[in-house]
Amino acid sequence: MSKRILILDDNQDILDIVHETLSYENFDVKSISVGDEVMPMMLEFAPALVILDYRVAGVNGGELCKQIKCHPDYKDIPVIIFSAYINHDDELFGYGCDAIINKPFDLTELVEKVNGLIS
């Protein structure tokens, strides 16, 4: 059974590229574009890793990461935050994420970080 990855990004182009790349790497991928869907999807999809865009409408990816890391059932699930805000790594790590990928990003870097966190 392939490992599951949940991706949140409100940019459909990025969602499509990341979804396709990780699916090609034999991960079971679920892509969503609305932050409010993350916590219900955690229960339904049971991902092995979560990738969150930092800036999405409604709640930001950092706050969602904090919710995941504070939840007793999800606290050990690795979280990667996508961010276009370079030089804010300390602030982003403050939310409890396991890795940060700065946008624009290289797909090889994405696959390496994902594999490093859930292999």
Query: Quick one: which of 115, 25, 20, 95 has its CA closest to 53?
Result: 95
Which pLDDT does position 85 carry in this prediction?
Answer: 78
Residues 13-21, mean pLDDT to the nearest whole number: 96
Residue 88 scores a pLDDT above 80: no
Residues 100-111, mean pLDDT to the nearest whole number: 94
Which pLDDT does position 2 carry in this prediction?
Answer: 82
Instruction: Tell me the pairing of strands 79-83 and 4-8.
Output: unpaired
d(CA 66, CA 81): 11
Which pLDDT does position 1 carry in this prediction?
Answer: 62
The runs of H, that is alpha helices, within the chain are 12-24, 38-45, 61-70, 89-93, 107-118
The answer to whether the beta carbons of residues 61 and 53 sit under 8 Å apart is: yes
Tally of domains within the chain: 1
Which pLDDT does position 19 carry in this prediction?
Answer: 97
Q: Which domain holds residue 11?
A: 4-118
Kindly report the average pLDDT of the chain as a whole number.
Answer: 93
Provide the CATH number for the domain around residue 99. Answer: 3.40.50.2300
Residues 70-89, mean pLDDT to the nearest whole number: 90
Residue 89 scores a pLDDT above 90: no
Which pLDDT does position 84 carry in this prediction?
Answer: 85
Residues 40-65, mean pLDDT to the nearest whole number: 94
